[in-house]
């Protein structure tokens, strides 16, 4: 496998959506512009979801219209349904992201439907994306532990990942949603998924609730994965584990990868400016 590793920045979406304080649109645009200059090739910019459910991302169209686009950067948008996909494509998204759970309990609690029903809802999303020549990335949540069902069978992760792959997702991100995965459980899960999907089509998305995210990345690297999600400043949190850490910090991930000889293409000094932007966001009292 290559010594190059792609770091997929998810902070502007997966990170900011969990912030209780509404972040001004201009600040979000500033953050994405700083990340664009730091060397990322993939930035998850926002999500077209109902503002009733995720008020923090109610300004998705304004954010997409305001960012300074770089030719080398793909700006991704999470889309839970056909309406969201159509809005994202109209806003100029370079790729879409869809998500399904490997746990029935989480699927019911999170999106009020079964896993099978959630997958069927993505068929029109895939169709409209194909017509617009927009690639789609698939997420599988709760790949290790579900907050409702407990430990998740790796075979369930494999099956959902395969369904998303067969639907046409170019890459499947394996999400440890509550950060309860250990190197042992993550290894078992990835080994099972690899029986159906090649490593170059998989990504690791590890939350750091249990301080195991970096160790989980190392396991995934050992198994051939070369794409990992992270969030600038460790943004994210977890609504199912109050007070817990959120996504793996991008700086921590990049520093580890570079120290171990992997080429990320990320400028750490430029990344520090984006982290300073996050700090400035959080220092402003809510209005």
The residues annotated as belonging to the active site are 238
Structure tokens at 142: 């709760």
Exposure on the CB side of residue 72, measured as CA atoms within 13 A: 10
| Beta-bridge partners for 203 | 173
Q: What is the rounded distance in angstroms from the CA atom of residue 202 to the CA atom of residue 138?
A: 10
DSSP state of 176: E
Q: What is the rounded distance in angstroms from the CA atom of residue 233 to the CA atom of residue 247?
A: 9
State the sign of the Cα–Cα–Cα–Cα dihedral 222, 244, 10, 106: positive
Phi and psi for 71 in degrees, rounded to 5? -60, -30
Q: Are 246 and 236 in contact (CB under 8 A)?
A: yes
State the sign of the Cα–Cα–Cα–Cα dihedral 258, 261, 262, 267: positive
Q: Are 211 and 179 in contact (CB under 8 A)?
A: no
The separation between the first and the last C-alpha atoms of the chain, rounded to the nearest angstrom, is 50
- Tally of residues, the chain: 287
Burial class of residue 25 (count of CB atoms within 10 Å of its CB; 0-12, 13-18, 19+): middle
Q: Helix, strand, or coil here: 150?
A: strand
């Amino acid at each position: 496998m290559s010594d190059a590793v792609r770091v997929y920045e998810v902070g502007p979406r997966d990170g900011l959506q969990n912030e209780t304080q509404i972040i001004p649109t201009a600040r979000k645009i500033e953050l994405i512009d700083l990340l664009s200059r730091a060397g990322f090739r993939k930035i998850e910019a926002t999500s077209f979801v109902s503002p009733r459910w995720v008020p923090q991302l109610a300004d998705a169209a304004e954010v997409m219209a305001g960012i300074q686009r770089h030719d080398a950067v793909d700006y991704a948008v999470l889309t839970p349904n056909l309406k969201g996909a159509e809005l994202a494509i109209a806003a100029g998204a370079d790729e879409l992201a869809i998500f399904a759970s490997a746990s029935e309990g989480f699927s019911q609690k999170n999106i009020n439907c079964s896993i099978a029903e959630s997958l069927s809802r993505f068929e029109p999303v895939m169709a409209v994306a194909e017509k617009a020549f927009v690639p789609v990335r698939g997420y599988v949540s709760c790949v290790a532990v579900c907050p409702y069902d407990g430990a998740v069978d790796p075979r369930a992760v494999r099956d959902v990942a395969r369904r998303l792959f067969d639907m046409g997702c170019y890459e499947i991100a394996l999400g440890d949603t509550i950060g309860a995965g250990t190197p042992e459980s993550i290894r078992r899960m990835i080994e099972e998924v690899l029986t159906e999907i090649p490593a170059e089509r998989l990504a690791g998305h590890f939350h750091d609730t249990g301080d195991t995210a970096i160790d989980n990345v190392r396991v995934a690297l050992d198994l051939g994965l070369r794409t990992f999600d992270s969030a600038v400043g460790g943004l994210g949190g977890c609504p199912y584990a109050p007070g817990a850490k959120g996504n793996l910090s991008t700086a921590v991930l990049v520093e580890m990868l570079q120290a171990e000889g992997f080429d990320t293409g990320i400028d750490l000094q430029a990344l520090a400016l984006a982290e300073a932007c996050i700090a400035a966001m959080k220092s402003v009292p809510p209005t």
